[in-house]
Structure 1
Amino acid sequence: MPKLSIVVPCYNEQESIPLFYPAVEKIVRKMPLEIEYWFINDGSADHSLEEMRKLHQAAPERVHYVSFSRNFGKEAALYAGLQAATGDYVVVMDVDLQDPPEYLPEMYKEISSGEYDCVGMRRTDRKGEAKFKSFLSDQFYNVINKISDTKIVSGARDYRMMTRQMVDAVLSLTEYNRFSKGIFNWVGFKTKYLPYKNVKRVAGTTDWSTWKLFKYAFDGITDFSEAPLAIATWFGGLSAVVAIIGLIVVIVRRFVVPGSSVNGWASLVCIMLLLGGIQLLCLGIVGRYIGRIYMQTKKRPIYIVKEKK
């Protein structure tokens, strides 16, 4: 019988875990599969680990967990779950039930046909989310798909079922800074997306603030595109051209209009501040890439395990 591993990253989800497990069990028990769960405790500060221990004690052969020594982030938790999973198929799900388990049978039907290597879920709306956050999310997909060779489907979730071959391919990418949505697409393999409407959290509150999402989006752009470096180069080149033109104008004016003086120190200061700001922006972009190279060369582990069952 084929085996399905369910990977569930968790951070401060003590309210959701007891609701998630029976909701998923109700669905997967009807499927012709051997099931294993891998809950990943990403350094939670609440009682998430205690809830995982309870589930493991109730079903030690079925439910497993990995607990980090501290919070390493969702990407690290997802990577740890994929490493721990032993199934022929692996599905990644959010514990807050925003990834409806009702779609698991359809996902398995599609992937077990052999036609697809991955079946993912794609939200067709963002009902219930803040409009500003939804706007930023839409713009992120528009931008990254224009500047990157790795295309990301708008509204695509991490919620997806993959074959063992694809999971092994994802795990072969051991980069320290990870952006899974991009990695899932970069490794290739044939993927089908199933549409569904947005679902609210079953319990608790999200830890993803607008600022965290913005940083995550920028990480995705710098991971899969060199466009920011090109922009910095163009900014620098444009500034140099404008400065040369300005210098020529000043020199020509001095000789064509004898006795003229260069007026407007305020505008000169503004121009200097503008050029200085552009230089700092470009340095910041370059520094961002250098920082990621620096972290990669350290070869630190993506996560550290404190407890595993």
Structure 2
Amino acid sequence: MLSIIVPCFNEEEAIPLFFAEMEKIQPLTGKTFEYIFVDDGSKDGTLKAIKQLPSSEGSKVRFISFSRNFGKEAALYAGLQASTGDLVTVMDVDLQDPPELLPQMVQMIENSDIDCVGTRRADRAGEPPIRSFFAKMFYHLINKISDTYMVDGARDFRLMTRQMVDSVLEVTEYNRFSKGIFSWVGYKTKYISFENRERSAGETSWSFWKLFNYSIDGIINFSDAPLNIASFIGALSCVGSGIALIFIVFRALIFGDPTSGWPSIVSILLFIGGLQLLSLGIIGKYIGKIFLETKKRPIYIAKEKSSKD
């Protein structure tokens, strides 16, 4: 069986299109499909559209409906928890993840010793230039400061063995960044590329600001470099101010030149204060993550779900 995890948020229009395309692919994979649609607190008719999807001999439709919007990371985790297949894939319902790649991905896993087949976009055609620029900068930065390597352009769309999925589920942290977790657990992974695609229907819920915050979470979750940078800035500022103080004292003793220029003093104080606030903000971000982890709140709350039968 092949379990297909499909997170959904306000995707009423896209669900029938996605299901129709997947059903065309199912016979080519040689697997029985187990669809697990996760309704992430949608405000439209997403859950109704899911319930209308028919099960058959070759496919079984299941769903999980959250009590509110918990985010895509929670939806992915819930779907992985509910999956029962020996192979598991994660796909977006908007058809930006090409269903026709699945037969090839299944063959790659079954005919080799790899544990995961990932996908990555060959380009970012159709994406706003500013978003493409920051996305490339994110991958460049995270791979410089983190021990966990993340492939540029990698999608959540990947096919995993049951062993790898079980390892991912062992990572029970509240603050989740799946791209990093998939890489962190290890296992042999090969990537295949595809051309970027537009959504089949609906509008994306991922604004630039949401993606920016998501990238910040990824950096915080998989690197302590920001803390080191804050410490370095503090040390550099301390050394610089010490050198400046010694220079001013010697100048006054030798040349009798009194210290003057209150605007420059105010500017320096504001600059140092800004560095302190920046450092406190970085430290506060990590403390906030610790605070959320220590609460031990559930990653999601399911309001309704289908049976496994």
Q: Which residue of 1 aligns with 2:303?
A: 306
Q: Which residue of 2 aligns with 1:160?
A: 158
Letter in 2 for 1:4: L
Q: Which residue of 1 aligns with 2:230?
A: 232
Q: Which residue of 2 aligns with 1:274?
A: 271
Q: Which residue of 2 aligns with 1:215?
A: 213
Letter in 1 for 2:55: A
Distance 1:23 1:73 in 2: 25
Matched, 1:194 2:205: no
Secondary structure of 1:94's counterpart equals coil
Report the CA distance between 1:282 and its aligned residue: 0.4
TM-score normalised according to structure 1 size: 0.97
Report the CA distance between 1:249 and its aligned residue: 1.3
Letter in 2 for 1:268: I
Distance 2:28 2:122 in 1: 27
Secondary structure of 2:294's counterpart equals helix
Of 2, 6, 12, 2:10 maps to 12
Q: How many residues align?
A: 304
Q: Which residue of 2 aligns with 1:119?
A: 117
Q: Which residue of 2 aligns with 1:261?
A: 258
Q: Which residue of 1 aligns with 2:24?
A: 26
Distance 1:140 1:105 in 2: 31
Secondary structure of 2:28's counterpart equals coil
Letter in 1 for 2:241: A
Answer whether contact 2:109 2:117 (CA < 8 A) is retained. Answer: yes
Letter in 1 for 2:292: M
Q: How does 1:46-125 map to 2 (within 5 A)?
A: 46-55=44-53, 58-59=54-55, 62-125=60-123
| Stretch moving more, 221-230 or 111-120 | 111-120
| Stretch moving more, 22-31 or 9-18 | 22-31
Secondary structure of 2:117's counterpart equals strand
Report the CA distance between 1:31 and its aligned residue: 2.3
Distance 2:209 2:33 in 1: 37
Of 284, 289, 295, 2:286 maps to 289
Report the CA distance between 1:263 and its aligned residue: 1.1
- Percentage of identical aligned residues: 58
Per-residue deviation, residues 77-109 of structure 1 (Å, max 9, x unmatched): 000000000000000000000000000000000
Distance 1:234 1:194 in 2: 40
Distance 1:49 1:277 in 2: 48
Distance 1:118 1:25 in 2: 23
Distance 1:77 1:211 in 2: 20
Answer whether contact 2:95 2:200 (CA < 8 A) is retained. Answer: yes
Distance 1:91 1:28 in 2: 13
Distance 1:220 1:103 in 2: 27
Find runs of 4+ consecutive structure 1 residues off by over 4 angstroms: none
Q: Any stretches of 5+ residues in structure 2 without a counterpart?
A: none
Report the CA distance between 1:114 and its aligned residue: 3.9
RMSD of equivalent CA atoms: 0.9
Report the CA distance between 1:14 and its aligned residue: 0.7
Letter in 2 for 1:308: K
Distance 1:308 1:99 in 2: 25
Matched, 1:147 2:136: no
Report the CA distance between 1:29 and its aligned residue: 2.6
Secondary structure of 1:66's counterpart equals strand
Letter in 1 for 2:277: L
Of 170, 175, 178, 2:168 maps to 170
Report the CA distance between 1:159 and its aligned residue: 0.2
Report the CA distance between 1:33 and its aligned residue: 0.9
Per-residue deviation, residues 2-44 of structure 1 (Å, max 9, x unmatched): x100000011111100110011110013321111100000001
Secondary structure of 1:70's counterpart equals coil
